[in-house]
Amino acid sequence: MRASFFDARRLIEYLSSVQGEQRQKLVEELGFHATLIFVQSDLVALLFLVSVTMQNVQIAIIGSGFGGIGAAIRLKQEGFEDFMIFERADEVGGVWRDNTYPGCACDVQSHLYSLSFVPNPDWTHSFSPQAEIWDYLRKCARDYKLLPHVRFGHMVTEAVWENDQQRWRIETSKGTFMASLLISAAGSFSEPKLPQFRGLETFKGKMFHSSRWDHQFEIKRSRIAVIGTGASAIQFVPAIQPQVEKLYLFQRTPPWIVRRHDRPFAQLERKLFRRFPVVQLLMRAGIYSFREVLGFAFRHPWAMKLLQPLARRHLKRSVADPVLRAKLTPNYLMGCKRILISNDYLPALTQPNVELITDGIAEVRQHSVVGNDGVERAVDAIIFGTGFHVSDFPFAGRVRGRAGRTLSEVWAGSPKALAGTTVAGFPNLFLIPGPNTGLGHSSVVYMLEAQIEHVLTALVYMRRNGVAAIEPRSEAQEAYVARVDKSMRGTVWTSGGCLSWYLDTTGRNSTLWPTPSWRFRRRVARFAPREYVME
Ligand SMILES: Cc1cc2nc3c(=O)[nH]c(=O)nc-3n(C[C@H](O)[C@H](O)[C@H](O)COP(=O)(O)OP(=O)(O)OC[C@H]3O[C@@H](n4cnc5c(N)ncnc54)[C@H](O)[C@@H]3O)c2cc1C
């Protein structure tokens, strides 16, 4: 049951008609403070309305993906109960709720790509499919009793730091909230990126982004243009190829692709994980360590050159035609863009109903796409596998700090934060994920967890010392960012000869963490008061 402010009067009348425990339960369900008193007069109704439209909470979390859910669970475990999660959708799950395209799955093994404090012995595959990951997140929310904290359908439109009150004013599509602390877990892959082509608006067929898959559209026997060859496209292209009449794949840059070593877990294995959690823990540690060894190659391009033949061999085995193979061979060092894993993408491209186009798009017409090769290809649908707004942090435009400027304005195209999490001029704001907290070789959830622990150490410090507001000292933040940038130099991401979505508009890699991931965890595990201004 949800309250609309216009219904407040009727709601009060209704509440007046129910008694005792039932009323208390209703009040809690509605999400108002349980201290709500029995009200009848119009004046009190007005006060009630004000209190409903301006709710107070200690901690506000924006988003209910891995970041938001992980933060909420850890807050509860540490005894912080006064928090709300604002979620614009009607379900928890983040990218795993939104990306329902055929073939969607994680590309880091599930036993690592999950919350360490909520192990799941029941993963069915090494790389579990989207539905299973989404179920896992929903189960986390249910099991840890997070749902009463979630305000669904609350799109956060703006968050403004109120200097005099030392609190965040959070404007949502369903009212205003005040919070002492703001954890932004709005995601780096939550805003689809759409390309601009001449005539795109005139197209009369179906158009959608991979993360907003239109399941009403009959894909069978239709002619499809797929734009983009990134991590999502290489999953859905082989899934739809056998069904479509024609698939035109528009590729700007070929990705490096290696084999995907997926396998189902036998019942016996799952039983073993359930009975002896340490076995699952060892498995997680093994996957983590292997990936960290791989991480070395990203920091030392000469080592990456030694690994590159693996991908070349995979390409040669999958694609016999030398002309097609040439089009699929990257001209930059492996790892510079995200390395993709697939066994069926390259073989799908060799099928007679697939055409790979590498000259780009000249224009889109009502029922066709015209390539720069001058060929007009009739299509029923255009599917964008064009990725997300990552390095520009779309949510940053909605957060206004101490000086009234937004994060986007302060960052001016290049996001920077202390410990990848806190920003000078933005008190009591924690960004998970934040700048330079992504990984090219391992699980993002590992980094989110490290950041969550950082938030908790800060919170505990504030509680113990009666601190109302903290924000990083500019010089501490600058020194931190300078160290990150220094470590980034010479990595495959900056010297591999490609332009990737890791780079921001200034050309800086503000997306990835450049050294072993355990170093990030160690660095942010402690809260160093000297790096902060406190009030
Ligand atoms: C298809 C796909 C596959 C991926 N696979 C992997 C993988 O295998 N390994 C890996 O490490 N990473 C992977 N990633 C990256 C992935 O983004 C992260 O691993 C992780 O899921 C991010 O979680 P999050 O909580 O930070 O963000 P999200 O999952 O994006 O959650 C953010 C939430 O915030 C909500 N929100 C956003 N803005 C607002 C607003 N203004 N008001 C209210 N709510 C808002 C959104 O609705 C969403 O629910 C993948 C990403 C995608 C898209």
| Total domains, the chain | 3
Q: Separation of 237 CA from ligand 1 center, angstroms? A: 22
Residue 1, in any domain of the structure: no
Answer yes or no: do 303 and 316 share one domain.
yes
Answer yes or no: do 122 and 148 share one domain.
yes
- For residues 249 and 448, give the distance between their C-alpha atoms in angstroms, rounded to a whole number: 34
Mapped onto helix, strand or coil, the DSSP state of residue 34 is coil
Answer yes or no: do 229 and 365 share one domain.
yes
Mapped onto helix, strand or coil, the DSSP state of residue 211 is helix
Task: Please tell me if the CB atom of residue 387 comes closer than 6 angstroms to any atom of ligand 1.
Answer: no
Answer yes or no: do 292 and 357 share one domain.
yes
Residue 3, in any domain of the structure: no
Residue 225, in any domain of the structure: yes
- The fraction of the chain above a pLDDT of 70, given in percent, is 90
Task: Please tell me if the CB atom of residue 107 comes closer than 6 angstroms to any atom of ligand 1.
Answer: yes
Question: Using the 8-state DSSP alphabet, how is residue 37 labeled?
Answer: P
Answer yes or no: do 461 and 500 share one domain.
yes
Residue 2, in any domain of the structure: no
Answer yes or no: do 352 and 442 share one domain.
no
pLDDT of residue 372: 97
Q: Separation of 231 CA from ligand 1 center, angstroms? A: 14
Answer yes or no: do 299 and 165 share one domain.
no
Last residue of a domain, one of 346, 367, 384: 384
pLDDT band at residue 18 using 50, 70 and 90 as cut-offs? low
Answer yes or no: do 453 and 501 share one domain.
yes
- For residues 233 and 210, give the distance between their C-alpha atoms in angstroms, rounded to a whole number: 8
pLDDT of residue 11: 58
Task: Please tell me if the CB atom of residue 228 comes closer than 6 angstroms to any atom of ligand 1.
Answer: no
Q: Is the pLDDT of residue 41 over 70?
A: no
Answer yes or no: do 118 and 164 share one domain.
yes
Ligand 1 atom closest to the CA of 448, numbered from 1: 26
Mapped onto helix, strand or coil, the DSSP state of residue 411 is helix
* Span 102-111, average pLDDT: 98
CATH assignment at residue 364: 3.50.50.60
- Kindly report the pTM of this predicted structure: 0.91
Q: Write the pLDDT tens digit of every residue in 389-428.
A: 998 888 999 999 999 999 999 999 999 999 999 999 999 9
Task: Please tell me if the CB atom of residue 113 comes closer than 6 angstroms to any atom of ligand 1.
Answer: yes
pLDDT band at residue 13 using 50, 70 and 90 as cut-offs? low
Contact partners, residue 9, CB within 8 Å, separation at least 6: 45
pLDDT of residue 392: 84
* Span 110-136, average pLDDT: 98
Residue 370, in any domain of the structure: yes
Answer yes or no: do 183 and 257 share one domain.
no
Residue 396, in any domain of the structure: yes
Q: Separation of 61 CA from ligand 1 center, angstroms? A: 14
pLDDT of residue 332: 97
Average pLDDT over the chain, rounded to an integer: 92
pLDDT of residue 5: 38
Full domain range(s) for residue 356? 200-263+270-384
Answer yes or no: do 181 and 253 share one domain.
no
Task: Please tell me if the CB atom of residue 447 comes closer than 6 angstroms to any atom of ligand 1.
Answer: no
- Enumerate the β-bridge partners of residue 172: 156, 175
Answer yes or no: do 335 and 228 share one domain.
yes
Q: Separation of 185 CA from ligand 1 center, angstroms? A: 8
Task: Please tell me if the CB atom of residue 393 comes closer than 6 angstroms to any atom of ligand 1.
Answer: no
Query: Among 45-49, 216-220, 289-293, 302-306, whose mean pLDDT is lowest?
Result: 45-49
Ligand 1 atom 19, closest CA: 444
- For residues 445 and 443, give the distance between their C-alpha atoms in angstroms, rounded to a whole number: 5
Residue whose CB lies within 8 A of the most ligand 1 atoms, among 170, 444, 501, 502, for a mutation test: 444
